[in-house]
Amino acid sequence: TAPSCTLVIFGAAGDLTKRLLMPALYNLASEGLLAEGFSVVGVDRAALDRDGWARGLTATMNSFTEDPTAEFYTPQLDAASWGFVESRLDYLQGDFTDAALFGHLKERLGGGNVIFYLAVASRFVGDLVDRLGTAGLLDQSAGGFRRLVVEKPFGSDLPSAQALNRRILRQAQEEQVFRIDHFLGKETVQSIMAVRFANGMFEPTWRREYIDHVQITAAETVGVEERGAFYETTGALRDMVPNHLFTLLCMVAMDPPNSFAAEDVRTEKFRLLQAIRPVPPEDAVRGQYTAGEEVGHPVPAYRDEHGVDPASATETYVAMKLRIENWRWAGVPFYLRTGKRLTGRRTEISVHFRPAPYRLFRDTPADHTTPNVVRLLIDPERGFETQFDAKLPGPSMRLGRVCTRMRYDDFFEQKPSVGYETLLYDCMRGDATLFQRADAIEAAWAAVQPVLDDWGGRTDAGATYAAGSEGPAAADALLARDGRSWLPLH
Ligand code: BG6
């Protein structure tokens, strides 16, 4: 069970709270991991009271029993577990810019353990932390812990991230700051460390001598949904690359940490991010979707989505080539791509090995140059696949590609989860392993800063791609330039 604490959620009436935080708390309650003394205070401008807020959350929780295909589905809402959370909810209406709000909060909280969860847009974070600090709410001298959870994107480029880190660290110690990236809450992402560092058979080949290149993909079929206004100023690069995709990159490419202590793991991630050569603009491709189809239904162009400028230059797709300048990876390109409205939903890492040193089977048409691919399947398929060549049946010696696939669900029973369970639980226990340290956040922004600078002044949409396609042709050209190609998305 986690230590007793109060979770204060700023942005309590928002989407994150009802879609992710509440289901995560419910799942923690059903595992018996929340302390009896646990409580939640929701803070938001919305004109609600405790009962109104709780009623809305209960309605959303009930809706999770309706759609078995939804990302979070539970056949039945366990009344005792939801009751545990629901009975501990409280609501405080107020404006984050109003100093009086923080006075009320202070009275209500007293001296116990508190986690302040900032489920608010990045531009509000600095002010909010200043006000918490000024009100004395981050002071731990009375004995109770005071922690801050900050959502991504953390800043919007290197200078703003540096400024935000400086500002937060004037009010709190680094140990009090938990910068969240929900990809680290995914079992399959955490498992990459297990696969690499608990087995003797992978790590010896996990380096430049054996690996040709690595592809990291986070393809989505959805468009911008109701988030047009947020996405317009964010775009695919800021939304996904220095955070989620770099998280996957760290997992697959970092050196083995000395131990699994938070600082050892975070230090290795930082070292890896620091080794990325800042990406030159010619190694990055941006794209925007035009009208097309999603599973047989016509869908509009990005520029026609709700909340989007009809002349928008915001990218909904990004691909880039990364070079990592260290001994393990020198000369091994890492190709990253992510986008909305692509033909398949797939988050995965594929590690493409070099061909065998000598081609013994000369009569076999070489339809593939690197037959050995290891695929780490993150979402929605979750597993591990290896591809290699075997002999085709018949009198002559000819080769054919085969694969073995492990699916997590075949081996381990998994309860439905939203990915925030472990992260919230770790924050309550004070384990920062799965959270981003200030230096890593800044190293990540530094790597993509030349691209941000180059794209900043653009007024055109860049390369376009039809909704429901594999992405822009320019992304294929990025790999073709090096004599390589993406794994297909469909
Ligand atoms: C979020 C982005 O952080 O991650 C979204 O803001 C994106 O645009 C989402 O859709 C992807 O996460 P997941 O877990 O659904 O792959």
pLDDT digits (tens, 9 = 90+) for 117-166: 999 988 899 999 999 999 999 999 988 999 999 999 999 999 999 999 99
Q: Which residues contact 80 (CB under 8 A, 6 or more apart)?
A: none
Q: Which residue out of 244, 297, 368, 490 is catalytically annotated? A: 244
Q: Is the CB of 122 under 6 A from ligand 1?
A: no
Ligand 1 centre to CA of 181 (Å) is 10
Nearest CA to ligand 1 atom 10: 220
Ligand 1 centre to CA of 201 (Å) is 32
Type of residue at 1? T
Tokens read off for 312: 């928008």
Tokens read off for 339: 């986008």
pLDDT of residue 417: 87
d(CA 92, CA 111): 18
Q: Cis omega before residue 257 (within 30°)? A: no
Ligand 1 centre to CA of 354 (Å) is 32
Whole-structure pTM value: 0.95
**Is residue 244 among the annotated active site residues?**
yes
Tokens read off for 399: 């080769």
Ligand 1 centre to CA of 270 (Å) is 23
Q: Is the CB of 348 under 6 A from ligand 1?
A: no
Mutate to test the pocket of ligand 1, among 183, 186, 378 (most ligand atoms within 8 A of CB): 183
Q: Is the CB of 220 under 6 A from ligand 1?
A: yes
d(CA 466, CA 476): 15
Q: Is 18 annotated as a binding residue?
A: no
If you average pLDDT over residues 160-187, what whole number do you get?
A: 96
The percent of residues above 90 in pLDDT, for the chain, comes to: 85
- Grade residue 284 by pLDDT with cuts at 50, 70 and 90: very high
Nearest CA to ligand 1 atom 2: 239
- Grade residue 366 by pLDDT with cuts at 50, 70 and 90: low
Q: Is the CB of 379 under 6 A from ligand 1?
A: yes
Is 70 exceeded by the pLDDT of residue 369? no
Is 60 exceeded by the pLDDT of residue 367? no
Ligand 1 centre to CA of 154 (Å) is 15
pLDDT of residue 248: 98
Mutate to test the pocket of ligand 1, among 244, 314, 349 (most ligand atoms within 8 A of CB): 244
d(CA 249, CA 166): 26
Q: Helices 438-456 & 246-253, crossing angle to 10 degrees?
A: 130
Q: Is 49 annotated as a binding residue?
A: no
Nearest CA to ligand 1 atom 12: 183
Tokens read off for 91: 């609501």
Q: Is the CB of 187 under 6 A from ligand 1?
A: no
